[in-house]
Structure 1
Amino acid sequence: MSQKIVHAENLDNFVTKTEVDHFEYVLDYADRNPNNESVGTSPTGLLAAALAGCYVMTARSFFLARKIDFSILKVKIVADFDHKNYDWRMSADTNIQTDAKLDDREKERLDYFIKNHCTVSNILSHGNTLNTSFDFI
């Protein structure tokens, strides 16, 4: 079990300062601010960033446990948030790019490992669409 305690405070308009694990993050919703200028990502942007970070860390764990060399490990996520009948859903297309040399079986194991060990994607997969693709360069 993992517990996180997060503190958040509204600073001005929709600018919100959050603190978790002694790190601060600024969230904003620029469309609702009078000058339309943003000073941070939106909560949904932070959610997509959490998903990307989890994919990177989980893939790195896979490579390190199997002593697989790599120098490139990047994730790009295109996340869409849709609101229907008072219910929000996320659809995310994730592309993981790496120069790790994997055979077909190891590629399948990496995908399986990420799906089973990335906490964020595991939580978000319920009721949402999470697609993952890989580019092995």
Structure 2
Amino acid sequence: MTSKRIALSSDHAAIELRQKVAAHIASLGWEAVDVGPTTPESTPYPERGAEAAQLVASGDCRFGIVLCGTGQGIMMAANKVKGIRCGVCSEGFSARMIRQHNDANMLSIGARVVGESLALEIVEAFLGAEFEGGRHATRVDMIKALEA
């Protein structure tokens, strides 16, 4: 898949960081498909995570990036959508490894866990990595089989 579209969403706790991530990915040549809230009223992270995940699962977007306070809840919701492999990362090494070893198609970040510059580094590590295949492909196939 060669799409340069990234589904982007958050709950109310991560609006500001999500908007900074959107601007950053645009500067890297990606198109942000932002389906997150724009006002600070409480919004449920399960709905926000699922909406972004459905865009990725459908093939409309190549990747997804979701954010909430810790990154955990929205990641759990995204992973309930068939075909999604989303990991929460608070540093670049893990973001790179979930792409290289797990063929992750979504990244989750905790806006109350990492600052802006680190979040942007995490995004770059995720987007800059490629799935290595090989022995990792067998394990990813095992994860896919769990959905069946």
Rg larger for: 1
Asked if TM exceeds 0.5, the reply is no
- By relative contact order (CA 8 Å, sep 6+), the higher-ranking structure is 2
What TM-score do you get using the length of structure 1 for normalisation? 0.25
Greater strand proportion: 1
What TM-score do you get using the length of structure 2 for normalisation? 0.24
Greater helix proportion: 2
